[in-house]
A and B are shown apart, each in its own frame.
Chain A
């Protein structure tokens, strides 16, 4: 199998088959919290794509150049990843605020939320557990962020419609969002087995 084919396989499998939200259940806080409006979820998705890809790169460098050669990986991996990614996100936020106030309005307010989002850290752990190389890590990071975007837009679109519909008292608010996610998850389960 060629290298490009392998990359494509990683991308599709992390975007659709192992969809980060609907099959792996990471990043549910922002998924339930921010999908009550479509613009919010679009802004959040772009911020997640950007941060996930850059932190995959950062984490790969920390893992392969510092932690594995020194043998500190089991003890320091968690601490190193979260501190580096947290401070990276902080830096990006300050930079965007200074350079482009418009972009900051669209994306910047979601950056602090991302710093402690399970997805960003989850991607780096997934990459490290599967021993992906540099380009594979980027493909997996981008794939996971793309899957996040799909799930966010799906639920946000459905919830916009739900606002005007008649829902039983029991399910009003969050419960209906969970039930819909369950059905969406069932749909994504149908993709399993697409890649052997």
Chain B
């Protein structure tokens, strides 16, 4: 896990050096999902990725997840891929139980403070990172993502 985070941070640093301050490529993130399987962000290139940082103890995070489930179902065919990343402190059993209870239909990875810090150093949860089909970082949406934001910021990328 530590090696994955260091790799991600190195990639962010190298990317910044090469591309400057404009549109940035998403960092090469590698994490484990709730079943212990390794998952890489680069595996989803060609899809619009919503990287959603959340926690079971965060009420707004829980409140927005049914919408994420709905959007994943409705826009999967248009290339949408939601990926949940947990924020500590978390109990793996609680995470598993919660995602099962609301029938989460997208992969959920176990994250750290430093994983979120790659995209956002603030304390707000949830945050949702929007990555386009070319693997470019388009937006970091702070707080709960409301339907009108999805319409404005995510839907145009799916066309």
Query: Do the two chains bind?
Result: no
Which residue numbers of B lie inside 8 Å of A, CB to CB?
Answer: none
